[in-house]
A and B are shown apart, each in its own frame.
Chain A
Amino acid sequence: MDDKKTKKFEEDKTEKKDETVHLKKEIEELENRVKRIFADYQNLEKRVAEEKRALIFNSNKNLLLNLLPVLDTLMLALAHTKDKGLELSIKQFTDTLEAEGVSRIETKDKLFDPLLMECVGTKEGEELKVLEETRTGYKLGDIILRPALVIVGKKDIDEKEKTCKN
């Protein structure tokens, strides 16, 4: 009788042990899942923050890209009229852009750099040197808003290459 009881007890014990192992494993799995979901969520939060930043940046970028041609025209007007009032107005405009993180791409006396400039034509002159800027380029922070359009010097220029191609 006692043997039977002991046997039953042992069986129960093994069963409980198995169950405990099983439950522990299940808890571990669930914990892992929770951790994973938590990590996913944190990643998502980071991604959303990044996307928000990108959205603001791109909205500003698009607005600026639409405004820059107006500035180009004002500069052309200044070149023709040499009006002091217009000059001051342009300065006010460019100062505002600068305050918003927009900077002009310098091309004077520089060598052609395709990261910042786009070549729209070549002229006989010092190899790879920027000879003329046909449209000013701008950066917003470190990112190119639009490249500067330039005419670049070339030593042995042949007629076929002179044509502008895009």
Chain B
Amino acid sequence: MIDVNAPGFWPQLFETLRIATGQTLYQVGITLLLTAIIGVAIGTILVVTEADGVLARPFGSRALGRAINAVLQLIVNLGRSIPFIILMIALIPFTRLVLGTSFGVTAAIVPLTVAAIPFFARMVEMSLREVPAGLVEAGTSLGASRWHLVAKVLLPEAMPSLVLGFTTTAVSVVNFSAIVGVIGGGGLGDVAIRYGHQRYSVTHIIAVIIILVAIVAIIQAIGNAVSMRMRGGGPARARR
């Protein structure tokens, strides 16, 4: 039991939280960076390799397009259906292979990224599907190449929606990053377990909750603002 009235309690608490918050933000930041790049790539390939997609026939082969699509669908479905806590444990050998250790703040980025990519890829897929087919058709009629259709039509038009999807993903990653604290991933989850749970400090638990709520609120506010700004402050289209 930790004594709130002990000398040095509050300075220690703040120091612990400062370090843990930094670890969480670092984990979440790197995870989101990797997720943004790989998730957009996978989500885009999922959409363009569909039967009526821009890249339905890569290298002139519909079979190849169908195969790529099927494999990515399988990966995304698998990633989405395994509960994070199980995925995290299952990935321990893989993490050790990649980083040489499965323990610590950096090591936790591996399971976080592996979980976040399929989640975000699915959101990218949904956002791109919302882009009216007529826009791609208009681009085609102008003589745009397949790459230009993706880079200049599909992705920019989906961007406000992509930003909202990314925001939802970011919130989930913050959530998951607290879970990795349980297996030695550091961060705010680690504080909650070690001080709050094992040493019965309600103060620590409450502090962690406040910080997590604040992080989530800030992420959501930024995401909403950026998405709205991209729409030019125009009428918000209903999403989902």
Physical interaction between A and B = no
Taking beta carbons and an 8 Å cutoff, which residues of B are in contact with A?
A: none
Q: Which residues of A contact B (CB under 8 A)?
A: none
